[in-house]
Every structure is written in structure tokens, then in C-alpha cells.
Amino acid sequence: MHQLSSRVKEERSLSNKIDNKEGKYQCLNDITDIVGIRIITYLDSDVDTIAEMIKKEFNIDVENSVDKRKLDNDVFGYRSLHYVASFKEERCNLTEFKPFKDMKFEIQIRSILQHAWAEIEHDLGYKSAVSVPDNFIRSFNRLSALLETADIEFDRLKKDLKSYEKRLPQLIENTPNDIEINQASIISFANNSQVIKSAISIIQSISNCAINNITSSEILLKQLNFLDISTIGKLDIFLTSYQEKYLLFVKEYTMESYNQEGCFPISISMLTPLYYLCIYIALDKNVYDEMIKKTRTNNDNFALRSDIAFKSAYAKVNPQ
């Protein structure tokens, strides 16, 4: 979900609505949008996912709800799912919800691109083909088609990436030299490498740190690129050839940095051992300082202490 916002209809707006619909509303509970909630998703497919969640949590007034994604083409690019909802009986039995038992509220769900159209449309002041001058209708239709196509293509791209990530373990096993280094491939490699799992076990046995879900790989990718490691096959060759000394290096570095107050993190990701591998390779090739200069974004005390610990660990594993 990208954004969630809410509003309560202002008194003047509420009064105007009641006046304009004279005789329609007998009490405030008859007005379904005094409270409005807007949920903006990243993709159009997410709208349906959230809609299913909402239907499980709330009563939906089907008669007054509308899926504006299915309206006629003269609405142009505005596509939004509008639910009129109320709290379910079991929730209204709770003390804090009893005052809202008969209250209805509106929930709008739309994608970022659908929201962009709605905001621009509101700014332009034209909400249908009827209100648009004839010589501008073609432009409106073209923009509507572009936004709808973009929504569809982003959804397709997400599905294709998910499919690629699902197939990666088998692709890596069968043709590692054909798999380029990218965030998805190194995450898959790290999650399935026995050497990486051994490194994680060594780190945890010394530091008792947790494994987090952070998969940021920008620095790691830069380091692999600096070391000219462009495929998973090449990465695996380095990991295999350095395995024994690399695991000793991981142990020595963890022990040294863990003993320095505030130097070792309380949690690491599955990618951390690959970062250590890049450090070890760079130290072994005598290009560590150059690599750090080109890939590190800060030069704080923590980083400097890590430099010392890395070099000390390497010296212990490779005594002169």
C-alpha cells in the first residue's frame, strides 16, 4: 500500500449535500460519506487484494457501492473502487465501537496512476466527455489509454519478476554462468548456498545476532562490479576457491568486531556474508582501499573500525 488517508466531511459541505438532496436523507446515518477513507495502492491488482480484505472485515452496502473501474469510456482515465461500508455486528459489540453501530462510511481504493488521473482531472475541471470541448477529447482519450496501459504493464512486470525469482534457484543450479548478478539473483544464491549458511552459523554462534529481512544490495552490487564478478557462476567459483580461508576470515572478523563495543550490529541479512566475501577478495587482491573508496558512501567511526577489524582478520588468516 502506498498511502492511506481519511477525512470527515466539513459542516458546510454536509449542509450543502443535504440541501441539494432535499428529502432524501431522514437522519445523518442515511448519509454514507460523512467519513471517507482513501487507500492508494502501487498497482491496480493490489486494489482487488485490498478489496477482499475489506469485505472480510466490514459489511459492504452493495447497492450504494460502485466499481468505477468498470464505467463507460466517457469517464476517461478515472478508475476507482468505491465501497460503502459499516462495522460488523461482532465489532459493534465492543464498547469503543457501539457509538458507530449504524454509521456508514466510504472507502475508496485506487492505484497510484488512477489517483494521479483523478487529481489532474480535478485540477483541469473536466470529469466527463460531455464537459470536454470536442477538439480536446482525443487528447483526453489518448492520456487515459496511456495511464491504463501503464497500470497493466506494471502489473505484468510484477508478475514476470515474481516468476523469474521463483525460477532462479533452478536456473542457478542448471546454468549459473548465464545468470547475471542482480538483486534477485544474489538473494536467491545467498538463500541456497551452503557456504553462506555456514558463514551465518559462525556469525550467530559468536554474536548471537538475528537475521533480518533487509535485502538492500546497492553497495554489494557495486563491490561485485568492482571485482569484475558479473555472473552467479563466477561468484560461486570465488566462494568455492576461497571457502576455507573465507570462513576463517568471517570467524576472526566477527570475534574482533564483536569485542569492540558498538561495532557489531544486532542483526544481519543473508547478504552480509557475501559482503564479507567481497571484502576478503579485495584484501587478497590488494585492492581493498580502492574498492572502499569507490563503493562506500560514508567514512564514519564505525566504518573506520570495521576497516581495521577486516584487515586484522585477514592478517590472522593469512600470516606473513
Tens digits of residue pLDDT in 110-146: 999 888 888 887 777 665 556 667 777 778 778 878 8
205 in Cβ contact with 254 (< 8 Å): no
Strand 58-60 and strand 81-87: the pairing is: antiparallel
Residues 6+ apart with CB under 8 A from 110: 38, 39, 40, 41, 47, 79, 80, 81, 118
Burial of 262 (0-12, 13-18, 19+ CB in 10 A): exposed
- Which pLDDT score, from 0 to 100, does residue 128 have? 59
Residue 70 has pLDDT above 80, yes or no: no
pLDDT tens-digit readout, 21-38: 676 766 767 777 788 999
- Which pLDDT score, from 0 to 100, does residue 23 have? 65
Residue 159 has pLDDT above 70, yes or no: yes
Q: Which stretches of the chain are assigned E, i.e. beta strand?
A: 3-8, 35-41, 58-60, 66-67, 81-87, 105-111, 210-211, 267-268
* Percent of the chain residues past pLDDT 70, beyond the cut: 88
Residue 9 has pLDDT above 70, yes or no: yes
SS3 212: coil
C-alpha cell at 280: 576478503
Task: Tell me the average pLDDT across 272-288.
Answer: 95
Task: Tell me the average pLDDT across 257-267.
Answer: 69
The total number of residues written for the chain in this structure:
320
Residue 75 has pLDDT above 60, yes or no: no
C-alpha cell at 278: 567481497
* Percent of the chain residues past pLDDT 90, beyond the cut: 49
Q: What is the DSSP string of 253-289?
A: HHHHHHTSTTTS-SEE-TTHHHHHHHHHHHHHTT-HH
Residue 280 has pLDDT above 90, yes or no: yes
Residue 73 has pLDDT above 60, yes or no: no
Q: Which residue has the cell 447497492?
A: 63
112 in Cβ contact with 131 (< 8 Å): no
- Which pLDDT score, from 0 to 100, does residue 106 have? 93
- Which pLDDT score, from 0 to 100, does residue 71 have? 57
Sorting pLDDT into bands at 50, 70 and 90, what band is 98? Answer: confident
Least confident of 189-203, 215-229, 298-312: 298-312
More confident residue, 65 or 138: 65
What is the C-alpha to C-alpha distance for residues 66 and 74, in angstroms, rounded to an integer?
A: 16
Least confident of 73-87, 188-202, 210-224: 73-87
Residue 200 has pLDDT above 90, yes or no: yes
C-alpha cell at 295: 563503493
Residues 6+ apart with CB under 8 A from 52: none
Phi and psi dihedrals of 36, rounded to 5?
A: -125, 140
SS3 124: helix
In this prediction the pTM is 0.71
196 in Cβ contact with 264 (< 8 Å): no
